[in-house]
């Protein structure tokens, strides 16, 4: 799928910076930095790493403090990790069991991140202080970026 619109240059820039890199933490750190600074809708951008035992732990992020640990059984990130499906939440107050790491968060987008073996290695969490901030272009373009970056990671 071709990346269009507001993500075309952003995804190309992230892929160029990360060219040849396979270290997960380096890829995650570079990605969150670029995403966070690229879009005013993004109030917090970070990865929660799958550390086993149905547990996510915070990885590289930009923005205010995030939750340090999230079980698969809790919140939007947990729902993404459990189902393996993108979670686009236009109103976090309407999401059952939403974890309020920051009181300013109004909407949230969480995408699963898979390695080449099809294993869940993390979720990408993007919070916005704007309600209903995300759309299908965000999902499609970020899924493409996650696949292009992490399918080659170690």
> What pLDDT sits at residue 152?
73
CA 45 to CA 139: how far, in whole Å? 14
What pLDDT does 4 receive?
62
Domain residue limits, the chain: 5-150
Cβ pair 123, 80 in contact under 8 A: yes
- CA–CA separation, 136 and 141 (whole Å): 8
User: Pairing relation of β-strands 107-114 and 44-50?
Assistant: unpaired
| Assigned token pair, 63 | 């923005």
Separation of alpha carbons 19 and 125, rounded Å = 23
Which residue positions in the chain have pLDDT lower than 50? 1
Q: What confidence score (pLDDT) does residue 98 get?
A: 64
Q: How many angstroms separate the CA atoms of 97 and 87, rounded?
A: 13
> Domain spanning 5-150: which superfamily?
GAF domain (3.30.450.40)
């Amino acid at each position: 799928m071709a990346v269009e619109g507001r993500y075309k240059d952003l995804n190309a820039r992230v892929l160029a910076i990360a060219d040849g890199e396979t270290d997960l933490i380096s890829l995650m750190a570079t990605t969150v930095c670029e995403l966070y600074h690229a879009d005013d809708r993004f109030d917090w951008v970070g990865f929660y790493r799958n550390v086993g035992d149905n547990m996510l732990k915070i990885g590289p992020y930009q923005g205010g403090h995030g939750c340090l640990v999230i079980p698969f059984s809790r919140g939007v990130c947990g729902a993404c990790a459990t189902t393996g499906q993108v979670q686009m939440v236009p109103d976090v107050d309407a999401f059952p069991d939403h974890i309020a790491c920051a009181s300013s968060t109004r909407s949230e987008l969480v995408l699963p991140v898979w390695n080449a073996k099809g294993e869940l290695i993390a979720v990408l969490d993007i919070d916005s202080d704007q309600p209903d901030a995300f759309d299908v272009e965000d999902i499609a373009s970020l899924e493409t970026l996650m696949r292009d970056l992490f399918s080659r990671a170690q």
